[in-house]
Amino acid sequence: MRISEGNKLEKIIIVGDRVLIKPKTSSDQTKSGLYLPPGVQEKEKVQEGYIMRVGPGYPIPVDFGYEEDTWKEEDEEEVRYIPLQAKEGDLAIYLQRDAIEINYQGEKYFIVPQSAVLMLVREEDL
């Protein structure tokens, strides 16, 4: 049984305002026809890749009522988030310096804060 890209990432939970990006495979040849040695394009300041998973967003502080006894253990309130602008499947142009490289099941990914994403390209079906 072959595990698809989506299935193998199901167990990954991205925290906060971060996104998981799979780098776009780049050509080893420039537009003028020169071949680049390995690693040259990885050192560029700006990279691009596809967003595979998205974190919940920016947490919103919980408004505690001071009239109540806050020390009592009661039902914990759900944490609320401001959602991120990025969505799974978007092509992201991001700053390499803020990206953290990880290897997961033999694949290379980057964890990037949304603040490092410069631009998104979204293909939406009309």
CA angle (54 as vertex; 50, 56 as ends), nearest 5: 165
What are the pLDDT digits (tens) for 24-75? 876 555 566 565 555 555 566 889 999 999 999 998 877 655 555 555 555 5
Q: pTM for this structure?
A: 0.72
Mean pLDDT of 89-103: 94
Q: What count of other Cβ atoms lies within 10 Å of the Cβ of residue 47?
A: 22
Mean pLDDT, the chain, whole residue set: 80
Cα 123 from chain centre: 17
Place of tokens 């988030």: 81
Asked if the model's pLDDT at residue 13 lies above 60, the reply is yes
Mean pLDDT of 110-115: 96
DSSP character at residue 6: H
Lowest mean pLDDT among 58-67, 86-95, 97-106: 58-67
Mean pLDDT of 5-30: 81
